[in-house]
């Protein structure tokens, strides 16, 4: 399933506890329609001591956010909807900002 967000995109949260915040997408799970956004939707996890973390304890990490609650931010800093068009030069499908009309890299 194709999603409007990709790893590395800057996104704005439009619903939920982190509404209005922006961050960079670290990982996308297309099968679950979720994405992990850097610094947003933090949860506390109780972790047992292991080889990597000998101390154990409570750690804070980012939890996945549903992609329907995210909007891509274009180069001008506006949250925008995403469309797909065929690029004339390369004849490949590219994403573009519906608000400004420019191609999203």
Residue 88 DSSP code:
T
Q: What is the per-residue pLDDT across 67-103, written as a single tens digit (0 to 9) for each?
A: 999 999 998 889 999 999 999 899 999 999 999 888 9
Confidence band for 1, pLDDT divided at 50, 70 and 90:
confident
State mean pLDDT over 10-24. Answer: 93
87 close to 94: Cβ distance less than 8 angstroms: yes
**Domains of the chain, first to last:** 10-49+56-76 (2.30.30.30)
pLDDT at 17 over 90: no
pTM over 0.95: no
Average pLDDT, the chain: 93
Q: Residue 3: helix, strand or coil by DSSP?
A: coil
């Amino acid at each position: 399933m194709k999603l409007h967000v990709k790893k590395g995109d800057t996104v704005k949260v439009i619903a939920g506890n982190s509404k209005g915040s922006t961050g960079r997408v670290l990982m996308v799970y297309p099968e679950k329609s979720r994405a992990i956004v850097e610094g947003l939707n933090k949860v506390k996890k109780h972790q047992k001591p292991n080889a990597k973390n000998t101390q154990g304890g409570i750690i804070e990490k980012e939890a996945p956010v549903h992609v329907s609650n995210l909007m891509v931010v274009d180069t001008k800093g506006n949250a925008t909807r995403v469309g797909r068009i065929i690029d004339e030069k390369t004849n490949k499908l590219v994403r573009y900002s519906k608000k400004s009309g420019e191609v999203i890299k």
